[in-house]
């Protein structure tokens, strides 16, 4: 028995050493200024326990920029009242443009307060109103619950434009990660229904294609922040079934839409080593081919959500400024 315990201990040590080697290999392509100690610990969300941990992590509120006020509003929706957070600069000029923001979290985690910093940055820098929607999450609420909540928020922005002091012709939609994917499907839905109008879509490393989970090549096995294991779990929770080669429901995954013509102008930003790079690059290419103006920005050595983990890195400061510039061009021009 003693020999067995010694053997198991050595085997465990060897396995741990191998895991470290593999992790270091995975991080070799990360830009030096984007390295963060948390990257050394691989994490995947694959079940109830890890999901609970992830939800606690993403429930933490980031700081609100000085000079920006926030308030909660309740929006009527098909599934009941939808909570949202309003950000605006004190003394905002009216009527202004507005941004409907959809937070990330793999469709299974997250809340508006996690994006306080970016939303208040946009509100402060551009003197616009920002509305961040607290949509329903999977697996408790699979497709189309979250998307329906986002559509309700967009509809509410338009219906309350006069009371909110915003110009209905200057309403953009944006989101990060899963929120970017919901942004893309939301503007598709709004286009098909003849409104509400969206002047611009900002897709920050968007989660667009459930078929990425079916890939087995090295690029799809990346584990820097968001792995394909997490991706499979998240898409399965959202779709209500494991991803497959076919998905007949419109708006389930933005990249599955065949015709992208007529959609609003877009900005897509993603890191070169992000799991979503290929699907994002393909979507940008297809938008342009369909006649939709689209700026596609790629950051070398950037992993998923690096701007959150390393916000002061020069590359991430530049990345965030590009977001502000893209939104500013769309929202501040009457």
In CATH, what number is assigned to the domain containing residue 218?
Answer: 3.40.50.1820
CB neighbours of 267 closer than 8 A, spacing ≥ 6?
200, 201, 202, 203, 294, 295, 297, 322, 323, 326, 327
Could you tell me if 263 and 201 are in contact, meaning their C-beta atoms sit under 8 angstroms apart?
yes
Question: Are 300 and 224 within one domain?
Answer: yes
pLDDT range class, residue 13, cuts 50, 70, 90 = low
Are residues 145 and 286 both part of a single domain?
Answer: yes
pLDDT band at 222 (very low <50, low <70, confident <90, very high): low
In a domain, 83, yes or no: yes
Residues 152 and 236 grouped into a single domain = yes
**For residues 187-204, average pLDDT:** 98
4 and 129 assigned to the same domain = no
Q: Do both 95 and 186 map to the same domain?
A: yes
Confidence of residue 4 (pLDDT cuts 50, 70, 90): very low
- pLDDT tens profile 117-156: 999 999 999 999 999 999 999 999 999 999 999 999 999 9
Which of the two residues, 8 and 184, has the higher pLDDT score? 184
Distance CA 248, CA 235 (A): 15
Residues 246-292 pLDDT 10s = 899 999 999 999 999 999 999 999 999 999 999 999 999 999 999 99
Q: Are residues 12 and 118 in the same domain?
A: no
- 2 with 78, same domain? no
Residue 38 lies in a domain: no
Q: Look at residue 333 and tell me whether its pLDDT is greater than 70.
A: no
Among 186-190, 196-200, 225-229, name the one with the lowest average pLDDT. 225-229
pLDDT of residue 7: 44
Q: Looking at residue 80, what DSSP letter applies? A: E
pLDDT category at 28 given cuts 50, 70, 90 is confident
Q: Are 147 and 189 in contact (CB under 8 A)?
A: yes
6 and 97 part of one domain? no
Q: With pLDDT > 70 as the criterion, what percentage of the chain qualifies?
A: 90
User: Taking 60 as the threshold, does the pLDDT of residue 12 lie above it?
Assistant: no
- Could you tell me the residue range of the domain that residue 105 belongs to? 43-331
Based on the domain organization, do 23 and 50 belong to the same domain? no
Please indicate, yes or no, if residue 35 is contained in any of the structural domains. Answer: no
CA distance 122 to 118: 6
pLDDT, residue 332, reads 83
Of 248, 250, 130, which Cα lies nearest the Cα of 186?
Answer: 250
| CA separation for the pair 86, 51 (Å, rounded) | 27
Distance of CA 235 to the CA centre of its chain: 14
Q: Please name the residues in contact with 51: beta carbons below 8 A apart, sequence gap of 6 or more.
A: 45, 108, 109, 233
Any idea which residues carry the catalytic annotation?
177, 274, 304
The pLDDT-based confidence of 78 (bands split at 50, 70, 90) is confident
Q: Are residues 282 and 140 in the same domain?
A: yes
**Total number of domains constituting the chain:** 2
What is the band of 2 on the pLDDT scale with cuts at 50, 70, 90?
Answer: low
Q: Is the pLDDT of residue 228 over 50?
A: yes
Q: Which long-range contacts (CB under 8 A, 24 or more apart) does 46-55 make?
A: 46/229, 46/230, 46/233, 47/233, 51/108, 51/109, 51/233, 54/105, 54/106, 54/108, 54/109, 55/108, 55/109
Mark whether 4 and 62 lie in a shared domain: no
pTM recorded for the entire structure: 0.92
Same domain, 25 and 77: no
Of the ranges 33-47, 214-228, 240-254, the best mean pLDDT one: 240-254
pLDDT-derived band at 214, boundaries 50, 70, 90: very high
Per-residue model confidence (pLDDT) at position 8: 43
CA distances from 91 to 123, 157, 165, 168, 222 (A): 11, 19, 11, 19, 45
3-state secondary structure of 100: strand
């Amino acid at each position: 028995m003693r020999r067995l315990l010694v053997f198991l201990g050595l085997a465990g040590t060897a396995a741990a050493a191998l895991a470290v080697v593999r992790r270091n290999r995975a991080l070799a392509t990360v830009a030096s200024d984007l390295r963060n100690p948390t990257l050394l610990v691989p994490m995947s969300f694959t079940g109830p326990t890890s999901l609970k941990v992830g939800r606690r992590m993403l429930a933490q509120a980031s700081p609100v920029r000085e000079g920006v006020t926030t308030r909660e509003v309740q929006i009527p929706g098909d599934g009941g009242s939808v909570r949202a957070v309003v950000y605006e600069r004190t003394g905002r000029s009216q009527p202004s443009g507005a941004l409907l923001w959809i937070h990330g979290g793999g469709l299974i985690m997250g809340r508006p307060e996690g994006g306080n910093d970016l939303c208040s940055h946009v509100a402060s820098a551009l003197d616009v109103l920002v509305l961040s929607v607290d949509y329903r999450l999977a697996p408790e609420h699979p497709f189309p619950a979250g998307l329906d909540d986002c559509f309700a928020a967009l509809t509410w922005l338009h219906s309350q434009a006069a009371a909110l002091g915003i110009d209905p012709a200057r309403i953009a939609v944006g989101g990060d990660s899963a929120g970017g994917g919901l942004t893309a499907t939301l503007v598709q839905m709004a286009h098909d229904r003849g409104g509400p109008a969206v002047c611009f879509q900002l897709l920050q490393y968007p989660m667009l294609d459930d078929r990425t989970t079916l890939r087995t090549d090295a690029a799809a096995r990346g584990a820097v922040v968001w792995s394909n294991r997490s991706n499979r779990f998240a898409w399965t929770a959202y779709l209500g079934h494991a991803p497959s080669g076919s998905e007949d429901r419109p708006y389930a995954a933005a990249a599955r839409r065949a015709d992208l013509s007529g959609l609003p102008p877009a900005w897509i930003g993603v890191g070169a080593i992000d799991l979503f790079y290929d699907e994002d690059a393909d979507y940008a290419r297809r938008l342009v081919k369909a006649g939709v103006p689209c700026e596609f920005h790629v950051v070398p050595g950037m992993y998923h959500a690096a701007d959150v983990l390393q916000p002061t890195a020069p590359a991430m400061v530049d990345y965030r400024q590009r977001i502000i510039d893209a939104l500013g061009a769309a929202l501040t021009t009457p």
